[in-house]
Amino acid sequence: MHRQLTERRLILASHNSGKLVEMRELMHPYGVEIVSASELGLPEPDETGLTFKENAEIKALASATSAGLPALSDDSGLCVDALGGDPGIYSARWAGDTKDFGAAMRKIEDLLQQAGAKTPQQRKAHFVSALTLAWPDGHCETFEGMVYGSIVSPPRGNLGFGYDACFLPDEHSRSFGEMTSHEKHGLPRDGGQGLSHRARAFQMLEKACLTGLK
């Protein structure tokens, strides 16, 4: 049995403002106040895990134990097939301390060109999101969602964040960077498709852990 969230205040174990906006939109129907780790002045723990799941749990547990409240963490990244799955769990690090994702996307494109990956089939990629809900007692619930697509160049659109502008989801004609937040992660309950990796992971978490809030 999955543990149910009953508290109405939740920490988002992230210093990423884009993730904060998305998670507040996803959690809004449940009347849960979400405050970010950065707003509480909580430090960012070292992400020493070797998988998205491990890093999500490290971050969620660090915030939950520090603040004494349940914490939700997302560890996500872009995995490019022709690059052996890179940047993967190091997606944020490829953007450097200044979070320059434009430079990170240029790096991906340079490496794809070096690999001779020019057709959409050769440029396949997928986003992964591991969502962990952790409690101060150390209990964790983790769910992983994925969305498949390909890398486009030059990047298209400025509506998203991170690597959104270079990712074209399968069976769509616009990149994540060209989609509104509703198009990207709106859930079926709101007339959306639940398209993004984070939306897909959230739907699993919602079904398993949030029914007690209704």
d(C-alpha 189, C-alpha 28), whole Å: 12
Q: Would you place residue 214 in the very low, low, confident or very high pLDDT band (cuts 50, 70, 90)?
A: low
Q: Write down the pLDDT at residue 213.
A: 79
Report whether pLDDT(117) > 80.
Answer: yes
Of 67 and 214, which is predicted with more confidence?
67
Q: pLDDT > 90: what percent of the chain?
A: 81
153 found inside a domain: yes
Name the one residue in this structure whose structure tokens are 């060109």.
113
**Catalytic residue list:** 75
Name the one residue in this structure whose structure tokens are 């999101």.
129
> Average pLDDT, stretch 53-61?
97
Report whether pLDDT(22) > 70.
Answer: yes
Q: What's the CATH number where 192 sits?
A: 3.90.950.10
Token pair in block for residue 50: 């070797």
Report whether pLDDT(96) > 90.
Answer: yes
2 found inside a domain: no
> How many other β-carbons are positioned within 10 Å of the β-carbon of residue 163?
27
Q: Domains in the chain: how many in total?
A: 1
d(C-alpha 43, C-alpha 24), whole Å: 21
Q: What is the DSSP string of the chain?
A: -PPPP--SEEEE----HHHHHHHHHHHGGGT-EEEETTTTTPPPPP---SSHHHHHHHHHHHHHHHHTS-EEEEEEEEEEGGGTT-BGGGHHHHTTTTT-HHHHHHHHHHHHHHTT--SGGGGEEEEEEEEEEE-TTS-EEEEEEEEEEEE-SS---SSS-TTGGGEEETT-SS-GGGS-HHHHH--GGGT----SHHHHHHHHHHHHHSGGG-
Report whether pLDDT(106) > 70.
Answer: yes
Q: What is the mean pLDDT of the chain?
A: 94
26 found inside a domain: yes
> Average pLDDT, stretch 142-167?
96
Q: Write down the pLDDT at residue 190.
A: 81
Token pair in block for residue 18: 């884009």
Q: Give the global pTM.
A: 0.92
27 found inside a domain: yes
- Its domain, for residue 22, covers 9-213
157 found inside a domain: yes
Of 182 and 84, which is predicted with more confidence?
84
92 found inside a domain: yes
207 found inside a domain: yes
Of 106 and 18, which is predicted with more confidence?
106
Q: Write down the pLDDT at residue 155.
A: 97
> Average pLDDT, stretch 79-108?
97
> Average pLDDT, stretch 164-191?
93
Report whether pLDDT(122) > 70.
Answer: yes
190 found inside a domain: yes
One-letter identity of residue 89: I
